[in-house]
Copies of this chain bind each other. A is one copy, B any other.
Amino acid sequence: MNIYDIAKQCEVSIATVSRVLNGSDKVRPATRDKILAVMKENNYSPSSMARGLGTGYTRMVGVLWDSDTDSHFAPAIALIEQTLRQQGMSTLLRTVSATEDKQKALSELAQQGVDGILVAGFGLTDEDEAALYTAASRAPVMVVGANINVPGVYCVQCDERRAIAGLVADLFLRQRRNILLLHDGDTLSNREKVEGYREGYAAAGYTAEDSRIIQVEPRLDAVNTCIKQLLMQRVSFDAVIGTTDMLALGAQKALQRTGLSMPVIGCNNSPLAQCVTPELSSIDNHAETLCVTAAELLCRCLQGEEVSPYTVIPADLAERDTFRR
């Protein structure tokens, strides 16, 4: 059932049918009703491909998603899809694991003919900028959780740097001067957090020591091993910040086994944090708000609206058992 069939049945031209399809007001109500009736009767729906060929738009947004991200990001992607759908956009999902080539993924997505691209859950490094630039030349790119200054690339970010700095200040107030920072690699997001960590120290008149900024694999057992090693090496620390809840949780469990107790704070405020005992304090980066905002801004951008290339949202601390101010 296509537009020709509908036109024939209604004894009108396909142009008129097309007008009805696109909600033009230049159609006599009687004609419109007749056409709509026939459409419904035949359960007709226009071919998105043919439409796309004609207009040059697919009404699809490519969503690039890091499949290795904390699983707390799963609800976020649902939120993105819902937000896009509300704006009449479909979601073409493309996941990328740590070992895959993000840049290739980005360019493939751009070539799929999507109207816009949303990059989420990363993990971006400087090297990805070139790929972003290329992709942005085909379709607007929106990055969640990063700050990248590339034309055609928009960013929505949570101010985690500031949040970490504030957290460090709070820990200092409680006489914690040797804060361990566990992170899982050199990503832009982690770099921000390390920045915040250093800022916190600086603001208190101290200098952060690199020996307490530790990279570790994002697995419980790896963190456990790491903490044990640190203790054996007699690296002293009296508080732990993990750049993900998983890292913080690993530390908490390792310390628990050793009989030690100290403030432990994670990031992302994932469901995990509330499920464990003792409940984990966590910096809430408001992933949901971030995602919804990103999706909305991207849609506005696609509708030709002027959109700010960089949007910031404040983070705050979800205080639970493992640390309270």
Contact partners of A97 in chain B: CB under 8 A: 78, 82
Encoded as 1 (CB less than 8 Å from any B CB) or 0, chain A from 43 to 83 comes to: 00101111011000010100101010001111101100110
Q: Could you tell me if A93 and B95 are in contact, using CB atoms closer than 8 angstroms?
A: no
Contact partners of A249 in chain B: CB under 8 A: 275
Number of copies: 2
- Judge whether A94 is part of the interface by a CB distance below 8 angstroms: yes
- Judge whether A225 is part of the interface by a CB distance below 8 angstroms: no
Q: Could you tell me if B95 and A78 are in contact, using CB atoms closer than 8 angstroms?
A: yes
Contact partners of A260 in chain B: CB under 8 A: none
Task: Give the Cβ gap from A58 to chain B, nearest Cβ, in Å.
Answer: 6
- Judge whether A162 is part of the interface by a CB distance below 8 angstroms: no
Q: Could you tell me if A91 and B90 are in contact, using CB atoms closer than 8 angstroms?
A: no
Q: Could you tell me if B276 and A277 are in contact, using CB atoms closer than 8 angstroms?
A: yes
Bound-state Cα–Cα, A75 to B91, Å:
18
Contact partners of A272 in chain B: CB under 8 A: 271-272, 275
The 11 listed contacts between A and B (C-beta, < 8 Å) are: A67-B75, A67-B78, A71-B72, A81-B95, A91-B93, A92-B93, A220-B274, A220-B275, A249-B275, A272-B272, A272-B275
